[in-house]
Amino acid sequence: MRQRAADRIDRGIAGVEPPPNPKPNRPATAIPFQAVKGKYRKPGTDCVTQINDHLWEGRYSPKVNGKRIARNIYAPTEAECEEKLAVLITEMKQELALLRAKKTAS
């Protein structure tokens, strides 16, 4: 729309015809849709990352009442970190079940 207005002004002032706008060339085949991964992981999932050569971090971050509760654990090896993370997840799920039970009882 702005381009059309600019073209009219050019025609009126300088008497110049604007160059025709070429249509963009699109490929004949349709590109399959691919969803973009979101910034946040699904609530209730965990991850294990290596911080440096001798330290691993395990993170569990479920959402409760719309707020993310994050807990971290640290271990010297990946296997030990995964074991500690499994224990942390079971403990957190028990705590969350109690919180939800209190909320429904209120």
Confidence of residue 5 (pLDDT cuts 50, 70, 90): confident
State residue 14's pLDDT score: 62
60 to 9, 24, 72, 95, 104: CA distances (angstroms): 61, 47, 7, 13, 24
d(CA 97, CA 91): 10
Confidence (pTM): 0.55
pLDDT tens for each residue of 61-100: 887 777 888 889 999 999 999 899 889 989 988 988 888 8
User: Quick one: which of 45, 41, 51 has its CA closest to 75?
Assistant: 51
Report the sign of the C-alpha dihedral through residues 62, 64, 67, 69, in that order. negative
